[in-house]
Amino acid sequence: MPDTTTTFDASHTREPGGEQYDDAAGFYVHGAPIADTKAPGGPIDERWNTRQFEARIANPANRRRLSVIVVGTGLAGASAAATLGEAGYVVKSFCYQDSPRRAHSIAAQGGINAAKNYKGDGDSVYRLFYDTIKGGDYRSRESNVYRLAQVSVNIIDQCVAQGVPFAREYGGLLDNRSFGGVQVSRTFYARGQTGQQLLIGAYQALERQVAAGTVKCYTRHEMVELIVVDGRARGIIVRDMVTGEIETYFADVVVLASGGYGNVFYLSTNAMGCNVTATWRAHRKGAYMANPCYTQIHPTCIPVSGAHQSKLTLMSESLRNDGRIWVPKNKADCDKDPREIPEEDRDYYLERIYPAFGNLVPRDIASRQAKNVCDEGRGVGPEVEGVRRGVYLDFAEAIDRLGRDAIESKYGNLFDMYARITGEDPYAVPMRIYPAVHYVMGGLWVDYDLQSTIPGLFVTGEANFSDHGANRLGASALMQGLADGYFVLPNTIRDYLAEGPFDKVPEDHPAVLEAQQSVRARIDHFMGNNGTRSVDSYHRELGNIMWEFCGMERTEDGLKKAIDLIRTLRDDFWRNVKVLGSAESLNQSLEKAGRVADFLELGELMCIDALNRRESCGGHFRAESQTEDGEALRHDDQYAYVAAWEWAGEGEVPVLHKEELVYESVEMKQRSYK
């Protein structure tokens, strides 16, 4: 294991005149530095064992008197609730869906990483750690990522024991495939349904605890406020989405596992119900929001077909194992049948630019290059608003080499889904794909124990700012969600709960009454506001602003314009939004209004965060910071930190706290996949 301490090159972070720049000056104020005080020292491969041993333990008799609220029932939430229930805690599980099985984790397709080295191709815990650090463009914590790589090995064994039907080779061993950003096969999969199968496994574990009486599930309940008493998270306020009733629940600790906020862009691969409200309510109560501008654009999505769409469909990145990505070399060929374009007139641009990784470059690089060739006028497919936004993902060579049956066994359900949506047969005609908003690497700031800046509030999965840095490698989201829920949180939350049981919170406590009043006032405003515009119209307009100015490419001028546009839109939203129906019944318009209100505040913070970070790293590409050949250019001496933003109050600018990133086991260097 190399032991290299990073040195910084200051020359990259100065303008020609030599002065430091601060594009976001005036949009925020500086706060005190923040540090992760829970992360242990010592050799990196021993830190997780050290923390597990040092963490205090709640004895079994006390656990029966300790209560935990878990918000969200995706992989992170379901696995956490099941594991904590199995440990003997009293758990309340909340989700806004009609069943825990409908959590968005079910939509994950391609696979889950683990450093098992079943292929004997040189994989190891350290290689998974290194690939993830490099893939995240050196903007994640070493200790966290190494722990994730260590725990990955256990996840597969846990899921196999639960009966998850991973694909197997002829001899019966678990199969692996490759994903972008790596040169080994470490991704375990169940055809194109990996998320579904893993979620069913976690759901079974959850339901076992429901039957045992340790977990109680509250479906169709949406968290609308966090209760903080004497500086500690002690409960939540939820709205019964069927009856409209506002309910209050208390616990000794609250766990948020509510997913990401990609739907701030309106068009994304996320389920329509995915939102930021749970984490944003916590942010407004004192939980710092970290790196909110880090958004992942997935390169393998079905292109937009028109203004009527309200979401986009993901096609698994695993397709890049056998599919070859190309566009015509000549603009005149873009409207031709791709089967009529000869090989010499095709530009396999990823294979040309990145010969070492080819079609398996990381997602941010594949997405940016797809945008580049389409911007050159070589995009394919139907024109939408005068532009062809699509590239080909071609399986003809793989079908000739392996046979149709082999391709169908690996990707059959994905091909069927594509055919149903587009009306085209991908076995006969190349798929068309284009980048779309997918995952977010930003989220609530947490320490090594997964605890936020509010004591007693823990955050897992995509809801925290995670272990992925500025870019998530494929098949890492499922790995992080299950790692947090099954193995990390249960070992760290006990250190906090060892102080309990805590005093019971009176229902008439001023902090509880204030939270309840704020929820009712918000609902009353929406129901009494006699506006003229629908909630969806505001959401779509916000999404257009975010995609245009804070999407695949950002600039100083564009981000400043976006902030002005969002502020104007938010003011109009509160004055002119129209919510139909009743608050005392099922009302999806009311649900959306609360979510969009939070998206409008989040969108502004995302733009301020992106404006502050004048460097290109991972999925965050600032046009002002690129190499001569158009690649992302980091500035390590100025931006090697986690940006943790504090809510300063209504009408106040946010406060920026910086957590310095220190690398001892890897050397920060310019990423290269060529």
Strands (E), 176-260: 187-188, 215-218, 221-229, 232-240, 246-250, 253-256
Q: Are strands 187-188 and 112-113 parallel, antiparallel or unpaired?
A: antiparallel
Tell me how far apart the alpha carbons of residues 438 and 268 are, in angstroms, rounded to a whole number: 6
Asked whether the beta carbons of 451 and 496 are under 8 A apart, the reply is yes
Strands (E), 31-98: 67-71, 90-94
Active site residue 346: no
Q: List alpha helices for 141-238, DSSP H.
A: 142-162, 194-212
Tell which phi-psi region holds residue 92, choosing left (phi > 0), alpha (psi between -120 and 50) or beta. Answer: beta
Tell which phi-psi region holds residue 42, choosing left (phi > 0), alpha (psi between -120 and 50) or beta. Answer: left
Token digits of residue 85: 């229930």
Asked whether the beta carbons of 50 and 40 are under 8 A apart, the reply is yes
Tell me how far apart the alpha carbons of residues 36 and 41 are, in angstroms, rounded to a whole number: 11
Helix axes 489-497, 75-86, angle to 10 degrees: 60
H/E element, 324? strand 324-328
Query: In the β-sheet with 346-347, what is the strand arrangement from edge to edge?
Result: 295-301, 431-440, 391-394, 324-328, 346-347
Q: What angle do CA 554, 556, 562 make, to 5 degrees?
A: 75
Among 27, 135, 31, CA closest to 609: 27
Tell me how far apart the alpha carbons of residues 155 and 160 are, in angstroms, rounded to a whole number: 9
* Alpha carbons within 13 A on the beta-carbon side of 70: 33
Catalytic position from the list 239, 363, 378, 388: 363
**Residues annotated as part of the active site:** 363
